[in-house]
Structure 1
Amino acid sequence: MEISDDTVVTLSYKLYSAAGELIEETSQPITYLHGDHHGIFPKIEDALTEKRAGDSCSVALEPEDAFGEYDAELVRVEAQDRFPADVKVGMQFEDTSGENDEEVRVFTVTDIAEGRVVVDGNHPLAGQRLRFDCTVLDVRAATPDELEHGHVHGPGAHH
Structure 2
Amino acid sequence: MQVTENKVVSIHYTLKNDAGEVIDSSSGRDPLSYLHGIGNIIPGLEKALEGKNNGEHVDVSIAPADGYGERNEALIQKVPRSAFEGVDKIEPGMQFQAQTPNGTQVLTVVEIQDDEVVVDGNHPLAGETLHFSVDVTDVREPTEDELSHGHAH
Asked if Structure 1 and Structure 2 have the same fold, meaning a TM-score greater than 0.5 normalized by the shorter chain, the answer is: yes
Shift of 1:79: 2.2
Name the residue aligned to 2:68: 67
Shift of 1:19: 2.6
Q: State how 1:52-91 maps to structure 2 within 5 Å.
A: 52-83=53-84, 84-91=87-94
Scaled by the length of structure 1, the TM-score of the pair is 0.86
Q: State how 1:1-159 maps to structure 2 within 5 Å.
A: 1-26=1-26, 27-35=29-37, 37-83=38-84, 84-98=87-101, 100=102, 103-153=103-153
Taking the aligned partners of 1:148 and 1:10, their CA distance within structure 2 comes to 19
* Structure 1, unaligned runs of 5 or more: 154-159
Aligned CA RMSD, in angstroms, stands at 1.5
> How many residues are paired up?
149
The percentage of counterpart residues that share the same residue type is: 42
Shift of 1:17: 0.9
Q: Deviations over 1:103-143 (max 9, x none)?
A: 21110111113232111111111111111111011111111
Say if 1:97 and 1:47 are closer, same or farther in 2 by CA, change over 3 A.
closer
Shift of 1:5: 1.7
Aligned letter for 1:146? E
* Structure 2, unaligned runs of 5 or more: none
Tell whether the 8 Å contact from 2:12 to 2:31 is kept in structure 1 after alignment: yes
Partner secondary structure for residue 9 of structure 1: strand
Name the residue aligned to 1:156: none
Taking the aligned partners of 2:78 and 2:47, their CA distance within structure 1 comes to 39
Query: Which consecutive aligned stretches of 4+ in structure 1 deviate over 4 angstroms post-superposition?
Result: none
